[in-house]
Amino acid sequence: MRKLIVLALAAAFATASWAQQKEKTGNGAFDALDKNTDQFLSREEVAAEKELAKRFARFDANKDGKLNVDEYIKAMQDNDRRVIRDSTITTKVKTALLAEKGVPSFAISVVTYEATVQLSGFVDSEEIRDKAAKVAAGVSDVKQVQNSLIVRK
């Protein structure tokens, strides 16, 4: 009889313990951010993820101040599309610089973020610096060029 009571108590405890554990969403990246395991992401939980934090308000569809797993997935897909667009722009700018005579394209670094292109490196004259910026600005989908090229003296 005593054994039966112990088993019943153990089963009750295990059931209560299991019920207190929250289910995971099955999305490992989401679950890793969901520190309180409520199946929602707060602004605080996503604060360290710069791109997700930036998209938080736009993808909080019901404006409840939290992202559910579907909203999270849409925000991450949006960022993935941005990365692809930016990579494509960088490739087009590098290609245009390679094709431009008199521009030392291998000495110029090109980085793109949200369609803004930053040129950096060292060139031999103001003319080359300006020409590189003009070439970059002429590439389709470039919104802005930050010309950080330095002229060697």
Contact of 148 with 119, CB cutoff 8 Å:
yes
Each residue's pLDDT tens digit, 3-52:
555 445 555 555 544 444 456 778 889 999 999 999 999 999 999 999 99
| Cα–Cα distance for residue pair 58/71, rounded to 1 Å | 9
| Cα–Cα distance for residue pair 93/134, rounded to 1 Å | 11
Q: Say which residues have a Cβ less than 8 Å from residue 152's Cβ, sequence separation at least 6.
A: 122, 123, 124
Q: What is the mean pLDDT of residues 84-107?
A: 97
Each residue's pLDDT tens digit, 66-82:
999 999 999 999 999 99
Closest C-alpha among 112, 147, 142 to residue 126: 147
Does position 86 have pLDDT exceeding 70, yes or no? yes
Q: What is the pTM of this model?
A: 0.78
Each residue's pLDDT tens digit, 118-134:
999 999 999 999 999 99
Closest C-alpha among 47, 112, 111, 114 to residue 78: 114
Neighbours of 112 (CB within 10 A): 25
∠ Cα 75 78 82 (to 5°): 140
Q: What domains are there in the chain, each with its CATH number?
A: 25-151 (1.10.238.10)
Does position 63 have pLDDT exceeding 80, yes or no? yes
